[in-house]
Amino acid sequence: MPLFQKAVFLTTVAHLRDLPQDAVREIAFAGRSNAGKSSAINTLANHVRLAYVSKTPGRTQHLNYFTLGEGKYFVDLPGYGYAKAPEAIRSQWEGLIGPYLGKREQLVGLVVIMDIRRPLTDLDLRLIDWFRPTGRPIHILLSKADKLSRQEQMKTLRSVQGEIATWGDAALYSVQLFSSLKKTGVEEAEGVLAGWLGIEFKKQENKGPPDKGGPGAKMP
């Protein structure tokens, strides 16, 4: 059973003053537009269209909160990288995202989703360089891994591992392969996020067929 089975949309936050007041842990998801962030959140939440809520009008530039079964939050940050007036980017960053990432006490870690074919772009690095001084962990998902051969996947993974090894405290930074399409890397990601959230999580030893008639059951 997936870790975050019961994720549901909670709220959209456009102003710092509207952040949820509860003292529950939350994990933020960031990435360039089109990197596969919504798909990754949907995959981790085991919910086909959950994170597409973030793409509806009025919500794309804000923080979108999803509540997890265990009473923890996923926070979907606006995708970056599309041409936008510098003034608009600055005001969004200074007014909401910057202070949120820098000061939110409940935030226990940042997941950065990168298309495996374009990892560590300038904007990714700007976000990461900005977040590192908080001393909180960063986990990178190299998404759409299915787009590359196994050999190319491993080459990119090693190259990103080499880069993050230069960031200092190895315990804080990690990277993995991920595919929402093929559902690969899900357990590895769940293990990292569960650790951040303080949830006990055991990898499934036996990947046998799902229960008869269950939602994931396949016809013979």
Footprint on residues 122-151 left by ligand GDP (CB under 6 A): 143-144, 146-147
User: Residue 180: helix, strand or coil by DSSP?
Assistant: coil
User: How far is it, in rounded angstroms, from Cα 128 to Cα 125?
Assistant: 5
User: How far is it, in rounded angstroms, from Cα 107 to Cα 16?
Assistant: 14
Q: Tell me the Ramachandran region of residue 108: left when phi exceeds 0, alpha when psi lies from -120 to 50, beta otherwise.
A: alpha
Q: Which stretch binds ligand GDP (CB under 6 A): 31-39, 102-110, 194-202, 210-218?
A: 31-39
Identified binder of ligand GDP from the candidate list 3, 12, 28, 31, rule CB under 6 A: 31
Q: Which stretch binds ligand GDP (CB under 6 A): 3-11, 36-44, 96-104, 154-162?
A: 36-44
39 binds ligand GDP (CB under 6 A): yes
179 binds ligand GDP (CB under 6 A): yes
User: How far is it, in rounded angstroms, from Cα 183 to Cα 171?
Assistant: 26
In the bound state with ligand GDP, the residue whose beta carbon lies nearer, of 118 and 132, is 118
Q: Are strands 73-76 and 63-67 parallel, antiparallel or unpaired?
A: antiparallel
Q: Alpha helices, DSSP H only, in the chain?
A: 37-45, 86-92, 98-103, 122-131, 150-164, 186-197
59 binds ligand GDP (CB under 6 A): no
156 binds ligand GDP (CB under 6 A): no
47 binds ligand GDP (CB under 6 A): no
Footprint on residues 61-100 left by ligand GDP (CB under 6 A): 79
The nearest distance, CB 39 to ligand GDP, in angstroms, is 3
User: How far is it, in rounded angstroms, from Cα 213 to Cα 89?
Assistant: 49
| One-letter amino acid for residue 156 of the chain | T
**# residues near ligand GDP by CB under 6 A:** 16
How many CB atoms lie under 10 A from the CB of residue 213? 6
In the bound state with ligand GDP, the residue whose beta carbon lies nearer, of 36 and 109, is 36
Contact residues for ligand GDP, defined by CB under 6 A:
31, 33-39, 79, 143-144, 146-147, 179-181
